[in-house]
Amino acid sequence: MQGLVTRLLVSVVVLTSSFAFAEEYFVSVARGKGKDATKEKPAKDLGNIVAKLKDGDTINIAEGVYLGRDESGSDQVPVAVKILGGWADDFSKRDPWGAHKTVFAGTNAIGGSTQYRLNVTPTNCAEILIDGIVFDNGPRNHYQGEKELVINRMASATKNRNPTPESGAIKLELPKKCAGTISNNVVMNTAPTGGAISAWGHQAGTLTIKNNLVINNTGEGIFAYSKWKSDKDQPQFIIENNTVLFSWKHDPIASYGGNALKIDAEIRLTASNNVFAFSDYGGVDNIKLAKKITLKDNLFTGNRLYDYREFNTSVKVSEFEDEADQLEASTGNMTAEIKVPVGEAFATLYAGRKEISRAAVDAKAKASNNGANALRSMLGLPLQANAVGGDAEVWLPRIAIDDAIKAGTSKYEAKYGCQKP
């Protein structure tokens, strides 16, 4: 017994000592060179210093567009670190959604990556934070034509083009009994099968996802996964003050994707003060029947089939307390015809796409404010007497960064969603 205690104490001392020597690094695409990664001599890209990172380190990233090491369009980080974007180039101040945007993008040329733009997979516990990054997959996508109105999921060797990546922006997998935070990010123009943000909790861990803008993505806006398949010590998810808009199905005829938030079975989750709006399928998809779920003070609007789903039961927001069987608690959730200040060009494309105007809408649709003219009103477009035209060839048209951020700079109804950090 004494030997066991001694070994445990040694382990704690070693672990504590390793974090005591944590480093702070700096990255600037404008003036970076080499691998010193100091404030005076920053590195050029996060990918260039991954090999030297240790658990507990902090990486500060200045404004600019980052394409990954060797323009790979993907950063794989295997340690527990804090990644902070949105710094001025001299690292004197931060403004992640304003004057000093740190943009993680990539290219679509043959040889580029189709993996998640940032994939953080630590094996040890230290503070884990992804904060203040704009993830724009627009440059990584393969669009049909110069107007960038519809994505192409097929490669084109003659045009030196990859297929549009089937992966999202952020993937964070926690170790057991560990906590992590994804905050103050913008995730846009990604075309995954799964989550634009994919967050994996583990045994007795906590994953916080707060104040993010997730806009114009296929698949699931936020996907809360569990790596711990047990009814005990389930990972806890705290999903708060996020704005999730325009979650598209995988493709126009797909039967999957198109949810603002999707929930794995073996988790505990509290979602509060979020906006879940304009999803091809629904606001919150609990198809796997997780039982420890609380939905509190969220705004649902413009979802096509349901605001909340349990397996094959579709529920609109006004029916949560009556018809949802799996929710531990549901209070203060509501709907409203909000005004979304995206640019007129994107609003017109979205409101005029074939999917939104089809006459044959699912007979079991249960969602709020999902009519064609209600949608046009919320996007600031004039109302039409007839159905929106169905001749537009549009699927995940590219939205510009400034237009996207307009939709997330202030809370809706003065309470719901994200705001400029």
Distance CA 81, CA 180 (A): 10
Q: Is 398 exposed, middle or buried (0-12, 13-18, 19+ CB in 10 A)?
A: buried
Residue 79 lies in a domain: no
Residue 297 lies in a domain: yes
Residue 9: predicted pLDDT: 44
Asked if 128 and 120 count as a contact pair (C-beta separation under 8 A), the reply is yes
Token pair listed for 380: 């600031």
Neighbouring CB atoms inside 10 A of 397's CB total: 23
Beta strands in 228-322 (DSSP E): 236-240, 243-248, 259-263, 268-272, 275-279, 282-286, 292-296, 299-301, 306-310, 313-315
Q: What is the DSSP string of 72-141?
A: -S-EEE-S--EEEEEE-TTSS-B-TTTTT-EEE----BTT---S-SEEE--SS-S-EEEES-EEE-GGGS
Token pair listed for 396: 């995940």
Query: How many angstroms separate the Cα of 359 from the Cα of each of 246, 266, 289, 302?
Result: 20, 38, 31, 16
Residue 380 lies in a domain: yes
Residue 260: predicted pLDDT: 98
According to DSSP, the β-strands at 313-315 and 306-310 are: antiparallel
Residue 29 lies in a domain: no
Q: Rounded to 5 degrees, what angle do the CA atoms 237, 366, 310 make?
A: 40
Domain range for residue 121? 105-406
Beta partners for 60? 26, 84
According to DSSP, the β-strands at 259-263 and 292-296 are: unpaired
Question: Coil, strand or helix: which one is 58?
Answer: strand
Distance CA 86, CA 133 (A): 7
Closest CA to 263 of 231, 311, 305, 230: 311
Distance CA 139, CA 33 (A): 24
Question: Coil, strand or helix: which one is 377?
Answer: helix
Listed as ranges, residues in the chain with pLDDT below 50 are 1, 4-18, 356-361, 386-392
Residue 63: predicted pLDDT: 98
Token pair listed for 344: 């007129």
Token pair listed for 158: 């003659």
Closest CA to 191 of 247, 229, 126: 247
Q: Is 218 exposed, middle or buried (0-12, 13-18, 19+ CB in 10 A)?
A: buried
Asked if 281 and 303 count as a contact pair (C-beta separation under 8 A), the reply is yes
Residue 20 lies in a domain: no
Distance CA 16, CA 13 (A): 5
Asked if 27 and 59 count as a contact pair (C-beta separation under 8 A), the reply is yes
Cβ neighbours of residue 246 closer than 8 Å, sequence gap 6 or more: 215, 216, 217, 278, 279, 350
Residue 400 lies in a domain: yes
Residue 53 lies in a domain: no
Indicate the number of domains in the chain.
1
Residue 370: predicted pLDDT: 74
Residue 12: predicted pLDDT: 46
Asked if 138 and 148 count as a contact pair (C-beta separation under 8 A), the reply is yes
How many residues does the structure list for the chain?
421
Question: Coil, strand or helix: which one is 357?
Answer: helix
Residue 49: predicted pLDDT: 98
Residue 378: predicted pLDDT: 84
**Could you tell me the maximum CA-CA distance found in the chain, to the nearest angstrom?**
81
Residue 221 lies in a domain: yes
